[in-house]
């Protein structure tokens, strides 16, 4: 009953299930001619997100394919695409997006599945392209909302997803089926999905070939052309040409690095630059990189072994990813290469390299704590060489500058990617995108995965180079429906809900824009609590109002303003009709509005005013 495939890494990649399918999970028929079948229907699952009305959504035409990107078309992150034809739906990726600076307290953002709430019985499966959080991060929160269907992905990605799922004990057990480059999936009667291996900065990544009744759609996932990757094979160009030979109607291509001309740097070139550093540096080496960049971590460990250095890895997420990758055979190193702190502290400086998280200046990450003398046992010293083997994510410039300030205060040497080619991005640049499009020769080109400006630049640069007419470049927003018929595709004006669903602690979707607005207000101008005691029957003020300021003024140094504010509140609450009872809501709104105007005139600040009425 279990479909089997051969792994692209030379070992059995059989899709295993233990025991019975969980309630609500899919049942599978017997495989036929090497195909996975995913045609069963899950039990309906009540949708937990707030219901939102569809905006101008039309009923699905039976002879049209609908492509709906729920996230990743207006931001970097939250990648999720819905393919729908007739009664069959399958989903590609369920990512998260990290919060913007104006989202205080938010842990991350996931996709809005409102559109799918009454279509759960049509969802045939989920495909995950690779193991980065912007493609897997929403899985614990969203799989149950679509009936917990079978999830198909590569061996390494499956391991990362399983490890992360352990943190979400209330989420249903996942039915994960592993795939490789030779796998073929059937999703209902409408979709046949094949795969091709792509290079990124994490191993075991795949693009999709989606065969539908109207034509073939190719989805690149995150990719780059790397002729000499580290610890994996380069992309199979012959396989791409074979796909193109059968005809491609729409090519959906990664836009994250589309604004950068040329071709992406090879990981092997990065290795050559890093090797030069290994040859020259005599003291301790500390390398900051992304926890998910396992190809870079492997490269650093291999160089450490070559040059006689021991390796200490710090950072929970990096250690976890390495553990999963090494257990599955995607990372290889000698057992005695890795050391803990007890062993590391006895080593000469020129025999140790520390690989850690925090190159983006994250407050609680290892590198920042070292720079701030805030780590339990690691500290920077004069002979250290700190290597930033990563680019700076837009929006993190200030925190990275602060991090570098801290490192330089320790008189350590700093090397970053502007000085040497010690970082290669995982996303295709313009030259790579043009090359891919020229191989595929699609009829329509659809930029995906990036901010709107990235999609536009991708569409313009590739469109001009490959000779696309403007109406053959499909650029949509999140939730906008792309309708594809035989030989024709268009971006419609129809939309489905694609709002931000905020995750804050244990709450998912319970933080609204109103709550965020209040948080922003408190962050900008603080808050003032006004406590007044009144007589219940008459509304008469019993005693002087009490004031509590948080983030607005320092009350001990603002005595005049405090007294003026108390006086203003007393005037507002002066009882003009002692025979009338107090109306709580009226009095609270009066304090908010009139006191807000008064404080603005006095301070040019707008604190959040919280009136507290005590009736006696």
Active site residues: 254, 427
514, burial (CB in 10 Å: exposed 0-12, middle 13-18, buried 19+)? exposed
To the nearest 10 degrees (0 to 180), the angle between helices 430-440 and 237-245 is 50
Alpha carbons 528 and 117: distance in angstroms, whole number: 42
Alpha carbons 72 and 590: distance in angstroms, whole number: 44
Determine the 3-state secondary structure of 182 from DSSP: coil
Q: Dump pLDDT digits (tens) for 200-230.
A: 989 999 999 999 999 999 999 999 999 888 8
Q: What residues have CB less than 8 Å from 480, skipping those under 6 apart? A: 68, 69, 73, 491, 492, 493, 494, 495
* Residue 405: Cβ within 10 Å count: 10
One DSSP character per residue, 237-254 reads HHHHHHHHHT--SEEEEE
Half-sphere exposure for 222 (CA within 13 Å, toward CB): 28
Q: Dump pLDDT digits (tens) for 407-424.
A: 888 888 888 866 666 677
Q: Which stretch of DSSP H or E encloses residue 205?
A: strand 205-212
Give the pLDDT confidence score for residue 24 in this predicted structure.
34
Give the pLDDT confidence score for residue 112 in this predicted structure.
93
Owner of token pair 């339990």: 376
Extract the tokens encoding 228. 């000499």
- Could you give the percent of the chain with pLDDT greater than 90? 48
Q: Dump pLDDT digits (tens) for 112-169.
A: 999 999 999 999 999 999 999 999 999 999 999 999 999 999 999 999 999 999 988 8
Q: Dump pLDDT digits (tens) for 565-609.
A: 888 888 887 755 555 555 777 788 888 888 888 888 888 888 888
One DSSP character per residue, 576-606 reads S-TTSPP-HHHHHHHHHHHHHHHHHHHHS--
Q: Dump pLDDT digits (tens) for 360-375.
A: 777 778 888 888 888 8
Of residues 9 and 499, which shows the higher confidence score? 499
Q: Dump pLDDT digits (tens) for 250-291.
A: 999 999 999 999 999 888 888 888 999 999 998 899 999 888
Q: What residues have CB less than 8 Å from 519, skipping those under 6 apart? A: 104, 105
Give the pLDDT confidence score for residue 192 in this predicted structure.
97
Alpha carbons 99 and 355: distance in angstroms, whole number: 26
Extract the tokens encoding 475. 């650029």
Give the pLDDT confidence score for residue 362 in this predicted structure.
77
Q: Is the pLDDT of residue 511 over 90?
A: no
Q: What residues have CB less than 8 Å from 371, skipping those under 6 apart? A: 380, 403, 406, 407, 409, 410
Give the pLDDT confidence score for residue 32 in this predicted structure.
35
């Amino acid at each position: 009953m279990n479909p089997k495939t051969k792994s692209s890494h030379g070992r059995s990649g059989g899709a295993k299930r233990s025991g019975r399918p969980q309630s609500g999970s899919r049942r599978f028929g017997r495989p036929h001619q090497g195909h996975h079948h995913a045609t069963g229907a899950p039990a309906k699952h009540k949708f937990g997100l707030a219901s939102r009305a569809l905006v101008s959504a039309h009923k699905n035409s039976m002879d049209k394919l609908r492509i709906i990107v729920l996230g990743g078309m207006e931001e970097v992150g939250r990648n999720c695409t819905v393919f729908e034809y007739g009664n069959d739906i399958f989903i590609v990726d369920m990512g998260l997006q990290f919060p913007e600076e104006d989202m205080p307290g938010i842990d991350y953002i996931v996709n809005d599945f409102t559109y799918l709430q009454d279509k759960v019985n049509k969802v045939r499966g989920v495909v995950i392209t690779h193991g980065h959080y912007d493609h897997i991060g929403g899985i614990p929160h969203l799989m149950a909302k679509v009936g917990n269907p079978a999830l198909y992905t590569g061996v390494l990605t499956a391991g990362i997803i399983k490890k992360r799922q352990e943190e979400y004990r209330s989420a249903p057990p996942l039915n994960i089926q592993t795939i490789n480059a030779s796998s073929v999936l059937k999703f209902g009667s409408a979709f046949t999905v094949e795969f091709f291996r792509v290079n990124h900065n994490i191993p075991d990544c795949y693009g999709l070939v989606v065969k539908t009744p109207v034509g073939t759609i190719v989805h690149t996932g995150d990719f780059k052309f790397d002729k000499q990757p580290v610890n994996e094979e380069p992309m199979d160009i012959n396989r791409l040409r074979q796909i193109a030979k059968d005809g491609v109607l729409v090519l959906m291509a990664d836009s994250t690095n589309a604004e950068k001309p040329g071709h992406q740097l090879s990981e092997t070139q990065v290795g050559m630059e890093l090797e030069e550093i290994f040859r020259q540096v005599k003291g301790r080496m500390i390398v900051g990189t992304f926890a998910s960049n396992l190809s870079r971590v492997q490269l650093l460990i291999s160089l450490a072994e070559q040059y006689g250095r021991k390796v200490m890895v710090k950072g929970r997420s990096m250690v976890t990813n390495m553990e999963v990758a090494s257990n599955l055979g995607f990372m290889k190193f000698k057992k005695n290469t890795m050391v803990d702190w007890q062993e590391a502290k006895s080593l000469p400086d020129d025999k140790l390299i520390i690989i850690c998280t925090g190159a983006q200046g994250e407050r609680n990450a290892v590198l920042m704590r070292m720079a701030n003398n805030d780590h339990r046992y690691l500290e920077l010293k004069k002979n250290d060489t700190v290597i930033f083997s990563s680019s700076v994510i837009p929006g993190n410039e200030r925190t990275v500058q602060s991090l570098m300030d801290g490192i330089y205060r320790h008189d350590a040497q700093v090397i970053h990617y502007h000085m040497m080619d010690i970082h290669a991005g995982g996303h295709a640049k313009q030259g790579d995108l043009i090359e891919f499009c020229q191989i595929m020769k699609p009829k329509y080109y659809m930029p995906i995965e990036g901010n709107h400006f990235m999609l536009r630049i991708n569409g313009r640069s590739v469109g001009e180079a490959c000779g696309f007419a403007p109406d053959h470049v499909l650029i949509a927003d999140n939730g906008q429906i792309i309708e594809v018929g035989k030989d024709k595709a268009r971006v419609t004006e129809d939309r489905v809900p694609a709002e931000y669903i905020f995750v804050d602690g244990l709450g998912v979707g319970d933080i609204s824009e109103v709550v965020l607005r209040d948080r922003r207000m408190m962050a900008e101008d603080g808050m003032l609590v006004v406590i007044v005691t009144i007589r219940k029957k008459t509304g008469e003020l019993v005693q002087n109002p009490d004031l509590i300021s948080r983030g607005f003024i320092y009350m001990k140094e603002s005595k005049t303003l405090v007294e003026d504010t108390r006086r203003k509140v007393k005037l507002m609450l002066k009882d003009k009709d002692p025979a009338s009872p107090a109306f709580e809501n009226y009095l609270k709104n009066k304090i908010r509005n009139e006191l807000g105007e008064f404080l603005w005139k006095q301070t040019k600040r707008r604190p959040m005013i919280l009136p507290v009425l005590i009736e006696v």
